[in-house]
Amino acid sequence: MEKLDAILELLSDGEWHTLNEISAKKPFTRLPLTDLAQLSHFLAEYDFIELDERLDHFISVKLTQPPQEFMRKIKWIERAEER
């Protein structure tokens, strides 16, 4: 779950991120790109992320709107609890 949580957090900005960019961040630094690609395909299968596909492979991923809204609300709740 650590990697799943981490990728959702990383993608919560709603911007496109390349797999190379993601693999450079912790906890993904030791994860092979093939495993990161499998995780991305899994998340895309359940509409958590969009894949930017080119030439039969994808190069970038982005969180879809519903999970992005969910992550925004979670952050808002966490900030409110800290006060």
pLDDT tens digits for range 24-76: 988 888 888 889 889 899 999 999 999 987 756 667 899 999 999 998 898 89
Report how far residue 79's alpha carbon sits from residue 62's, in angstroms, rounded to the nearest whole number. Answer: 24
pLDDT score at 55: 59
Cα 6 → chain centroid: 7
CATH of the domain at 66: 1.10.10.10
Total domains, the chain:
1
Strands, E, within the chain: which ranges? 17-18, 49-54, 57-63
How would you list the strands of the sheet with 17-18, edge to edge?
17-18, 57-63, 49-54
Quick check: 16 and 62 in contact, CB under 8 A? yes
Domain that holds residue 59: 2-82
Predicted TM-score (pTM) of the model is 0.77
Q: What is the pLDDT of residue 57?
A: 65
